[in-house]
Amino acid sequence: MPAPIPAPVAIAPKPVALPPPSPVAVAPLPAEPGVDDGGGEILLDADASSGLAPTPALVSVDVEAYADGLVPSALARGGLAGAVVVVVKDGQVILAKGYGYADRAKGRPMDAARTVIRPGSISKLFTWTAVMQLVEQGKLDLDTDVNDYLDFRIRDYQGQPLTLRHLMTHSAGFEESAKHLFAADPSRLRPLRAYLETVQPERIYPPGQVPAYSNYGVALAGYIVERVARQPFNDYIEQRVLMPLDMRRSTFRQPLPKGLTGDVALGYAEPGAAPIPFELVNAAPAGALSTTGRDMANFMIAQLDQGRFRGAEILKPYTAQAMQRVAVRPIAGLDAMTLGFFRRDKHGLTALGHGGATEAFQSSLALLPDKRLGVFVSVDGPGKAGRALHRDLIDGLLRRYYPERGAPPATRLTARLHGKQLVGRYENSRQSASNFLAIARLMGSAVVSLNDDDTVSVSTLRARDGRIKRWREIEPYVWQEVDGDSRLAAKRVDGKIVAIGTDDAPPAMWLQPVPAWRSAGWMLPLFYATVAVHVLALLLWPAAALVRRHTQRQLKLDGRERDLRLLTFFGLIANLLLLALWAWMLGRIELSPRMFDGQLDSGLRMAQLLGLLSVAVAAVSILNARQALRPPVHRVRRACALAIAAACVAVVWFVFALHTMQWSLVY
């Protein structure tokens, strides 16, 4: 049974004023700026022109032949179980076909019309459609403070209101939120309001200034739909979006209704592995959709036909157009955000897209509104092989029917000068900043370097063969991939680089410079040195005792010195346990996002206690080093005591700098 809906807010209807929506300005970063999927980049990336007649003709038989020649071999090569491919054109389905298996063990084939798949963050497009329906009716205003629609309060950020426009463009400023995003089993599913109130993340950026992809923000918008429509989110989506589009095998309900449970495609983490259990999403509006390839065809047709499908109308044409227009372009020269879609305007084509990745599925949706063309691909398996299949299929279709033309632009004479300005260490704007997941900032930063040929490279951006991509400047502060078509660009404020972005990632995030005080350039070497000192000390301490015993040379220590040495020894053990515990928890997170559903709480609490203890360990080690400085202590023992004290102080630095001492279990 759905949870009861709190008393609705009283919202006076407002006249609709959609066309044209006011754009969100991406303002300069503040002086001191504060891991589900990233939504996926738009995969339509060929150097194409709408002015050329497509050759061969974009018809069903040719599209199917192309997919048949690519998908089965890609599945076999990547060890993937199955895939579904859907192509619509001019309001008609020209391909809806399954490949491989929905269930390997039973030999159940993937069926585009019957097999239920989980498209992950593509669910967000349905939530945004619902929001725009209510905007169209005058029940929601994109520029009103969301707190006016809620029965709990979103925390303030320097008095600046948070609006639906910010949520729809992923510029609300929320830090990454992972706790309870997925439920470990049906008994742990939470009502939407309870989830939102329990895990509310910190706002680390001013609203409207920094793109930071947020599942929480979309779930919040879904709850606003629930409040204003005065019915559960699942009911609203079914009645106002799914049923009018004849999407009868689609639902946001969890667990699945009985009529669909037997047709779910099983995802596999790797070939030969056991299937991944049906994923339960507490942030349902952000990623809980279950659907079929054939149902997704209807959704794409409606979006391409300005909200209409077979006589039904889920959006007025002007509302659909408003949803697809550029709302904000975080970095000039790169992709833009519409009110929900990622948008690419390139080579005379406009592409709208969104991706979705869960533990078990990878999906991509791409629309070319001017061509009335839509493509949907879903693979029941994670990893590089699935992403490669998406890119090969969608890019291949575009290149086949909208051929390339034009020579690549020449490299600019300013390439070296501007490349030097770009050099440095960067981190993703989609990040956790107030809890232990801030560790990801340390481990996942990107290094931009200038090459001898005046191209630039980003350490985290790699080609399919694993080599780091190179980029050459073709416009001021805009670079193009060498032997490719992706672009990289920089955002400058007062002559200073404040962010870089790339077509390889969605416009809902960017890379921003890492403050020097917590740069991995020095923190990682310090971390490795700290671990080495702890391990060596614990190994050499008993070894030295054995040598002294064998040579009958005993240390002359008074009671205080002996106690400090013993406490320091056990303190080193406690510190190593702390570091090992963090490594264990991060490893568990890598296994499954279900680990975020409270499974780490006991380990997290123990780590917090050990972090507190590390302060005492550092104090004891300093006292021990102070004792060792007094003559006639041997210089080797003195150096060891100082190194141990420095390593223990470094542990305290990491505990506080990486926010692992936050007492909360929300992250």
409: in domain? no
Per the domain annotation, does 319 fall within a domain? yes
Asked if residue 635 and residue 510 are part of one domain, the reply reads no
* pLDDT attached to residue 41: 52
618-628 pLDDT, tens digit per residue, is 999 999 999 88
Q: Which amino acid is located at 539 in the chain?
A: L
Are 234 and 347 part of one and the same domain?
A: yes
Query: Alpha helix (H) ranges present in 230-364?
Result: 233-237, 258-261, 284-287, 293-304, 317-324
Contact 411, 473 (CB under 8 A): yes
Pair of tokens at residue 391? 């890119």
Cβ-Cβ contacts under 8 Å for 283 (sequence gap 6 or more): 181, 195, 215, 216, 218, 219
Q: Which residue is listed with tokens 């780490």? A: 600
pLDDT at 588: 87
Q: Is residue 50 part of a domain?
A: no
| Residue at which a domain ends, from 347, 378, 401 | 401
Task: Tell me whether residue 217 is in a domain.
Answer: yes
Residues 241 and 336 in one domain: yes
Average pLDDT for 520-548: 91
**350 and 240 belong to one structural domain:** yes
Is residue 263 situated within a structural domain? yes
Pair 213, 300 in one domain: yes
Same domain, 207 and 327: yes
Q: Please, what's the largest Cα pairwise distance for the chain?
A: 97
CA-based end-to-end distance of the chain: 29
Domain limits for position 569? 518-657
**Do 266 and 373 share a domain, yes or no?**
yes
Banded model confidence at residue 406, pLDDT cuts 50, 70, 90: low
At 579, the amino acid letter reads L
| Block residue for tokens 């391990």 | 535
Model confidence pLDDT, tens digit, residues 438-454 = 998 988 899 999 999 99
Same domain, yes or no: 95 and 196: yes
Same domain, residue pair 587 and 452 = no
Domain count, the chain: 3
* 608 is a domain residue: yes
Residues 462, 483, single domain; the answer is yes
Please check whether residue 23 lies inside any domain of the structure.
no
| Residue at a domain's end among 493, 514, 535 | 514
Give the per-residue pLDDT at 3: 39
| pLDDT tens profile 213-236 | 999 999 999 999 999 999 999 999
In the chain, pLDDT over 70 holds for what percent of residues?
90
Same-domain check for residues 324 and 387: yes
Last residue of a domain, one of 475, 496, 514: 514
Q: How confident is the prediction for the chain on average, in pLDDT? A: 90
Q: What is the 3-state secondary structure (H, E, C) of 245-265?
A: CCCCCCECCCCCCHHHHCCEC
Summarised one tens digit per residue, pLDDT across range 486-506 is 999 999 999 999 999 999 999
Give me the CATH number covering residue 167: 3.40.710.10
Looking at beta carbons, which pairs linking 465-469 to residues 24 or more positions away fall under 8 Å?
none
Which of the four pLDDT bands, split at 50, 70 and 90, describes residue 24?
very low
Say how many C-beta atoms besides its own lie within 10 A of residue 23's C-beta: 14
Q: What's the rounded Cα separation, in Å, for the pair 127 and 312?
A: 18
Compute the radius of gyration of the chain from its Cα atoms: 28
Percentage of residues of the chain with pLDDT beyond 90: 75
pTM of the model: 0.89
Does 19 score more than 70 pLDDT? Answer: no
- At residue 538, the pLDDT reads 94
Based on the domain organization, do 271 and 322 belong to the same domain? yes
